[in-house]
Amino acid sequence: MKRFVSVLSLIVLWHLVASQAQVLAPNDVGVAMGQWYTIVRDAEAAKQFWMLMGGSPIEVDGTDVIKFPGVLIFLSKGEPSGGTVGTTVDHIGFHVPNGERFVAKLRAAGVKMDPTAGTRTPEYQGSSWGNVYSPDGLKVEILDSARSTAAIGTPAVRAASPLTGPIATDHIHFFVAESSLEEIQAWYAQMFGAKSFMDPVPNVSNPVRAGNIPGVELKFSKSPDSPVPTKGRALDHIGFEVKNLEQFCKRLEANGVKFNQTYSRRRHKGYASAELTDTWGTSIELTEGLNKL
């Protein structure tokens, strides 16, 4: 831990400029990436991990939050039942201007990572620098924006990084049964306005179903096993920030969506919210007001 803190102290100035705009402007139906809600055993260790990644700490309604361009990460103290691998959301992804340097910095700080992290992965057309893990087992893929990903440009084409800071959100990678891939892509398009496309990363000859929402790409891949729901895991739920949330919830209900928690302006002090679970087991919170915090 001392080593972790000492390295962290060397990058304070680096991460202070990491987050300017967080929640982005919404798409045509009023939706943007909003939050990733995590359960953490040690809030301080989790906070240090995300700050090392380039986030900036704030507090929302008494909860520790780390802000990044494109997303707010909520840290809720508790005992997660497991990491993200094996759930319907296998991992999340960020892109950075220089993946090699970024992963080397994380390795020097003692961050857990896959053995191959820090080297270009040929099957990902050179864009991926591998996976790292939060103290609670939340899997994070690091992508190099100098070789644009599908969310920000053309895969495998070398280009100057489009980032104005050192890091930004890239994707959420869902893993479901092969028979559900077309259905889940269509569901997120219908319910949240995700613009569907076929992502050629990692394999041009076998592209991945995907959909874009401001702030994130949603990727949908075949799960090797039967994935479990996200509830209670290190990444408990994802969240979308929605314009005119009350009316939006009525539209979802008209389309057959059942809410775990109906629309409320009182559940949280600073923003309105509603909660649901998609057909495949991913818990989702819809909010209105996070973009003003």
Q: What is the CATH number of the domain that holds 11?
A: 3.10.180.10
Check whether 14 has a pLDDT greater than 50.
Answer: no
The pLDDT > 90 percentage for the chain reads: 66
199 pLDDT tier (thresholds 50, 70, 90): confident
Torsion angle of C-alpha atoms 176, 179, 181, 186, degrees rounded to 10: -120
Torsion angle of C-alpha atoms 220, 222, 225, 229, degrees rounded to 10: 20
Residue 124's pLDDT is 57
Sheet containing 216-222: give its strands across.
128-133, 139-144, 89-96, 168-176, 216-222, 208-213, 195-199
Residue 156's pLDDT is 47
| Count of structural domains, the chain | 1
Cis, peptide link before residue 166, omega less than 30° from 0 = no
Which residue segment(s) compose the domain that 65 sits in?
A: 2-292
Check whether 286 has a pLDDT greater than 60.
Answer: yes
Distance CA 263, CA 275 (A): 8
Residue 161's pLDDT is 60
> What are the residues facing 175 on neighbouring strands?
221
Which amino acid, one-letter code, is at 39? I
